[in-house]
Amino acid sequence: MQFAPPVSKNRIISTFPKCYNPQACLQMKEDWSAKAKLVFKDRATRQQGLDRLKMSKAVVVGDLNVGKTCLINRFCKDAFDRDYKATIGVDFEIERFELSGLPFSLQIWDTAGQEKFKCIAAAYYRGAQVIVTVFDMTDIKTLENTKQWLMEALNENEPNSCFIFLVGTKRDLLSPEECQRTERDAVKMAAEMNAEFWSVSSKTGENVQQFFFRVAALAFEDSVLKDMELGYSTAQIGDGDVLKVDKTQAAAEVKAVRKSCC
Ligand SMILES: Nc1nc2c(ncn2[C@@H]2O[C@H](COP(=O)(O)OP(=O)(O)OP(=O)(O)O)[C@@H](O)[C@H]2O)c(=O)[nH]1
């Protein structure tokens, strides 16, 4: 029998993570829902398999050069690269969490912002439980383009099935006044997109972990509640297929789609 390695200490989430800005927040509550807490407490249901690995899929979209890869790398590898290397098609990371004592994995899909790679990236939007639309806080055009990115990602998913986030990167490059102004614009955009807004810096790491914890908590709670309604438990990606947590298999699929698209 194979046992999963223990979740690293800095991926343990015991209290419900707060939003960044209450004016652009998906859920204002400060704790897990009462229903979800019931599941966490119910050891009997755990033994019946409700604590089997749950997995959600998050896709990260946005213009080229806005900082999607850096955002993911800061969280997953605690690294930052000053040099720009375009993402070719897609890439992904799997992060394992422990939330209120239960295991949870988040697949984070990094997609290319360059037009020529769009056909590859779009093939991976399906089955997302979370859509993260990213813009560069130093380039307001990229904020306007997030709507288009969101529409394309939503087109591949069931209506109302995704949590939507709007993330402004590179806040380290702005003065406090510029940051405030851009955040005001972003909050308006977030309202139009039904999104939760976050302002981060992958260079300094500011707000990056808090953002991904929030994503993980909302996605996890949503899966638990859906499972409860359906009365079963599986390792599932969004509303999509039942999947094995197999990085090699997923990597092979990425290769195959790249090949067929190119
Ligand atoms: N100062 C600063 N620079 C950043 C930050 N995030 C990203 N960058 C820089 O912005 C450039 C683009 O970052 P990437 O993460 O590669 O951009 P991307 O959105 O993944 O680009 P594509 O793969 O083409 O879609 C790189 O030179 C990064 O070093 C940040 O928070 N602060």
Residue in 117, 56, 76 with CA at minimum distance from that of residue 262? 117
Instruction: Calculate the average pLDDT of the chain.
Output: 86
**Domain spanning 9-246: which CATH class is it, in words?**
alpha beta
- In angstroms, the first-to-last Cα distance of the chain is 40
> pLDDT confidence of 45, banded at 50, 70, 90?
low
The ipTM (two decimal places) reads 0.99
115 C-beta closer than 6 A to ligand 1: no
Give the start-to-end residue ranges of the domains of the chain: 9-246
Q: How far is the CA of 86 from the centre of ligand 1 (A)?
A: 9
**CB atoms inside a 10 Å sphere around CB 210:** 15
How many other CB atoms sit within 10 Å of the CB of residue 109?
A: 24
pLDDT digits (tens, 9 = 90+) for 157-181: 998 899 999 999 999 999 999 999 9
Give the single-character DSSP code of 236.
B
**Mean pLDDT within 37-51:** 64
Residue 100's nearest CA partner among 140, 144, 41, 55 is 41
Rounded Cα distance between 262 and 259, Å, is: 5
Least confident interval from 60-64, 85-89, 94-98: 85-89
Ligand 1 mutation target, pool 59, 66, 149, 174, most atoms within 8 A of CB = 66
Average pLDDT over residues 112-135: 92
- Residue 111 Cβ < 6 Å to ligand 1: no
Say if pTM beats, i.e. exceeds, 0.80: yes
